[in-house]
Amino acid sequence: MKYLVSISYDGSKYYGFERQPKLNTVQGEIERVLKKVSKEDITIKGAGRTDRGVHALDQKAHFELSHDIPCDGLRDAMNSLLDDYIYINYVKEVDEKFHARFDCVSKTYEYYLNVGEYNPIKNDYIYNYNKPLNIGKMRKAAKYLCGMHSYEAFTAGERENYNSIVYKISISKKDNIIKFKFDGKSFYRYMVRNLVGILIDVGRNKIEPIEVKKTLEAKKNICGYVTAPACGLYLTKVNYK
């Protein structure tokens, strides 16, 4: 039987989602628990990878068991054994052909940045930038990043293809917290954090919005933006048809 799970986790407590030898990861912890529940070695396939320090409210993954377990019972059993910083939101049965990564049609990420006083309590969960930013200019710059583009200038590492679609970027502010929301087809390594990084440079008047368009077209970091820290980033939704 093949199952799909929705997972929430506190990324500050793990070395990323993907399993790594001798390191505490989200995938490794879930596979450890599934082995206890099913009495067999289980490999889960995630909808994507999140880096060390990145959080999730709705990461998705699938796995197969050799015998059927009711979904609610499986969820409860997993949650009773998992670390306190991982929670299974739900479990559902899926078709044998389903794949958590390849069947994904879009993802939503949110990034939280504090422009008010430094907050040590939330330091693992927001970016304590603690300086004012021009939201109007950032919104103008964000429009250049939407649509179908090559995002090579905003992706870490080498890939065969850097093309993707960003459907929408919204930027809002409440109580000194700026929220960046990204809806798109695919997001590559460090891509969201790099998009936030260049938007911050626009917001602090280091560069003009048009420089974002030029960077996108140049396919390299021509303006010297810095990758935003992982602590403010959340994977909030993984969508399927």
Q: Which two tokens stand for residue 8?
A: 């929430």
What is the distance between the alpha carbons of residues 65 and 83, in angstroms, rounded to a whole number?
22
Strand (E) or helix (H) holding 129: none
At what angle are helices 135-145 and 191-203 packed, to 10 degrees?
140
Picking from 189, 152, 153, 197, the residue whose alpha carbon sits closest to that of residue 52 is 189
Q: Is 95 a catalytic residue?
A: no
Between strands 163-174 and 147-150, the pairing is antiparallel
Q: Which of 10, 51, 83, 124 is catalytic?
A: 51
Which residues are known catalytic residues? 51
